[in-house]
Structure 1
Amino acid sequence: MSSSEIPRHSMNRRRFVQLSAITAGGIVAASYNIPASAASTSGENKMANNKTVQAPRFAYVGSRTTRERNARGDGITVYRYEPETGACTLVQTLNDLVNPSFLTFNHPQTHLYCVHGDLSEVSSFAIDAKTGELSKLNTVSTQGKNPVHLSVDPTNNFLAVANYAAGSFALFPIQDDGSLGSSSIPELLPGEAGPHRVEQSGSHPHMIPFDPSGRFLVIPDKGLDGVFVYRVQNNNAKLTATQVSMVKSREGSGPRHIVFAPGGKYAYVVNELDSTVTGFAYEAEQGVLTAQEILPTLPSNFTGNSRAAAIAMAPSGKYLYVSNRGHDSVATFSIEENGGFSIKGHTPSLGRKPRFMNLTPDGSRLLVANEESDNIISFDVDRATGGLTANGQSIKTGSPVCMIFKTT
């Protein structure tokens, strides 16, 4: 990640979506001879925990856009999503945005927020409920360079943003119309930097989600080799954050992203620099993580350069997916009731550098964003076995780095 400000760019923009079968000359993904489920359905879907989720209606893709990133993205692209077939149809391109690299909704999904990677800005948008199209509301300063992740608190009152290069996070009040107010004073993450001379020059928070209870922010810090937990308080309309715990990771591991298992008793952190996943027990009342197990994300015979990136949890809580940039694959892990996990196999990502991936809310498909090959590949998920099989559909879009689904 670069810590310098990146100016607005001029680039050759290409706006198109391609839903096509993988050609005979491409790689055919078959995870480990496990057939894919054809369980994609429209309307409502019942998950293993008996919750009902709506099938997605729209998909939003964020991309990198600047020459300094060697990027080819168009900004934010909006697609109509067909749950029965998985087809995506382009409905809008917002091409005047710089590096809208990570996206999130408020909880009613009436508004969307994005950080602008390599800059110091976060933007808000209203969503048209019928068309899915975005209308920009405002942009405010994050008071820290290179914001990389953001999340909305359970009450929809404020937004939390992680500033990677600045080693800080900031909290923003959400106004009645969905726009953002000015941030609180950024909170610096304390600690000693890891040993990697380039990637660990100081604190580099890479994600800032809320835990399942909504009481705590959980922040993997790639630069400090640790995972922080903070409690947020709203005192007389003033947002403040207090650290309640921090668990150290292996030296040089570079914690990047975290996901929680359904029920919130276990959490899994992907470590970017040493390509591992750490399984944790989570004590939700106190906000304390306790490491239980660490497993590699790469095959034992792989000797090339690779970095772990994205992590996704199946809605059932039985399977975990991690992307490898360099090996260009998705590692699949099975999860036991006690939180233990084991590797099941690796599936080619059908592109270069899979930076991000996301499951559809019903868990029937996994969409893998290959940043360097400008495609998002769709995989059918066998929800009984966790197996992945490429279903022949892809979205052709420049430098994709995030994809989220709107269901309402």
Structure 2
Amino acid sequence: MTRPSGENTVAYVGSRTTPGRNGRGKGIEVYDVGPGADHWTPLQTVELDNPAFLAVDHTRRYLYAVHGDLTYVSAFRVEPGTGRLSALGRQETGGRNPAHLAVAPSNRFLAVANHSSGSVASLPLREDGRLGPVTDLLLLPGEPGPHRTEQTGSKPHQVPFTPDGRFLVVPDKGLDRLFTLALDATPGKLSFGPVPHTATREMAGPRHICFHPRLPYAYTIDELRSTVTTYRWDAARGALESVQTLPSTAPSATGDSRAGEIAVTPDGRFVYASNRGGAGDSTPGGPEPDTIGVFAVSAAEGTLRPVGRQSTGGVRPRFFCFGPDGRRLFAANERSHTIMAFDVDADTGALRPSGEALSTGSPVCVVFSRTP
């Protein structure tokens, strides 16, 4: 994907880099992509270990990265006009294997999910973009689920803020729970909400959650069962109530699968969910390309109806996202080392391969941003 220079929309791609993760990436790749992300021009490679998830602050002047299997988060300054990164240092997260991070609505704190040590951390964001030491560390309580290897204890996998910014909802794969937390905007202290948690189906392994842009509903991707669950969301109480569960794979699928990512379109009409064949064992995946399930959203009830599945053209789509204008979906195939572009049909939700593919080592996260 190449294009002439002149636009200032950039993409940041995080990757697996270490042998333990079969990583072939180099770190964070920076691309100039244009307004529709239809032409990618490489700008920079920032070499570092396992930048597994990325987040840009609300001023778009700083970028933060958690490092899978390690114990810290890194900060970077975004160069105005180009989007290139310069390092600002790093801070320990108070736990192991940080898997996700989110900038608080106040832009004063960063929330981090420590996947392997069952905790959520808050770190202060300083005026110059640097990170202060951990402000608070909250351990997530509960009994592990029944899966003998994947549910040995608490395993939070995501820490997104709710649409109104009042709460964080934390899917915990190890405990089969969705925790609702509050972050005090002044001292950065974490606490449980009025309804501290919601139990999922046994051995669901909730991984990620997304909220409908208008309706009071949320959707989880359940990694271990490869299902999508619809929840009614009570924003006042911070409470979730499950109303529907559907398979994210084809109903006739019999092979091993681990669900990966979930997202709702900006107009709220469709939900997408990725499936990773073979992701529960030590093989590279397959034997065929993995898929993204497409679901139509009922405007009246918020529930889902399956409308199709699209091959990602590769292996293990740990992550996907929409482009800057919402008209394209980009699937990061971790084990086949590609980012595949799909046009989104606004009427049917169908995904159509655009014919464009970016080759890059072990991509696991893509973040688009307009440079300041």
Q: TM-score, normalised by structure 1?
A: 0.85
Instruction: Give the Cα–Cα distance (whole angstroms) in 2 for the partners of residues 268 and 358 of structure 1.
Output: 15
Q: In the alignment, is residue 332 of structure 1 matched against residue 294 of structure 2?
A: yes
**Paired residue for 1:147?**
98
The aligned counterpart of 2:127 is 176
Is 1:213 matched up with 2:158?
no
8 Å CA contact retained: 2:53, 2:364: yes
**Contact preservation (8 Å) 2:108, 2:185:** no
Q: 1:241: which partner in 2? A: 191
| Residue in structure 1 matched with residue 173 of structure 2 by the alignment | 222
Q: In structure 2, what is the equivalent of residue 290 of structure 1?
A: 241
1:211 to partner: Cα distance: 0.2
Are 1:212 and 1:263, in contact at CA under 8 Å, matched by a contact in 2? no
Cα distance change of structure 1 residues 126 and 85 upon mapping to structure 2, 3 Å threshold: closer
Q: Distance in 1 between matches of 2:188 and 2:329?
A: 39
1:268-298 per-residue CA deviation (whole Å, 9 max, x = no partner) reads: 0000000001101101011001111000011
Correspondence for 2:229 among 271, 274, 278: 278
| C-alpha displacement of 1:127 | 0.4
Q: 1:184-208, CA deviations, whole angstroms, 9 ceiling, x for partnerless residues?
A: 2311001110000110000000000
In structure 2, the partner of 1:48 is none
Q: Is the 8 A contact 2:161 2:169 kept in 1?
A: yes
CA deviation digits over 1:64-105, x for unaligned, max 9? 10011111011000000123570111000001x110010011
Q: Which has the higher contact order (CA 8 A, sep 6+)?
A: 1
Aligned residue for 1:186, secondary structure, equals strand
Which stretch of structure 1 is more off in the superposition, 294-303 or 140-149?
294-303
Contact 1:110–1:127 (Cα < 8 Å) also in 2: yes
Structure 2 residue 90 is the aligned partner of structure 1 residue 128: no
Q: What secondary structure is seen at the aligned counterpart in 1 of 2:20?
A: helix
| Partner SS, residue 156 of structure 1 | coil
Task: Verify: 1:312 aligned to 2:263, yes or no.
Answer: yes
* Unpaired stretches in structure 2, ≥5 consecutive residues: 278-288
CA offsets, 1:248-275, max 9 Å, x none? 0010010000000012511000000000
Residue 12 (structure 2) pairs with residue 60 (structure 1): yes
Q: Is contact 2:123–2:188 with CA below 8 Å preserved after alignment?
A: no
What letter is aligned with 2:322?
L
Instruction: Give the alignment partner of residue 219 of structure 2, picking from 244, 260, 268.
Output: 268
Are 1:350 and 2:313 counterparts?
yes
Q: Which amino acid aligns with 2:156?
A: P
User: How many residues of Structure 1 are paired with residues of Structure 2 in the alignment?
Assistant: 356
- Whether the 8 Å CA contact 1:363–1:383 is kept in 2: the answer is no
C-alpha separation in 1, matches of 2:184 and 2:216:
23
Structure-2 residue corresponding to 1:167: 118
CA contact (8 A) 1:328 1:349 kept: yes
- CA displacement at 1:407 relative to structure 2: 2.6
Asked if 1:115 is matched to 2:48, the reply is no
| Partners of 1:333 and 1:345 within 8 A in 2 | yes
Q: Which runs of 5+ in 1 are unaligned?
A: 1-17, 21-54
Identity rate of aligned residues, in percent? Answer: 46
Query: TM-score normalized by structure 2?
Result: 0.93
Q: 2 CA distance for matches of 1:104 and 1:125?
A: 10
RMSD: 1.7
Cα offset for 1:355?
0.7
Cα displacement (A) at 1:238: 5.0
Is 1:308–1:325's contact at 8 Å kept on the other side of the alignment? yes
Q: Say which of 19, 23, 27 aligns to 1:71.
A: 23
Matches within 5 A, 1:368-387: 368-387=331-350
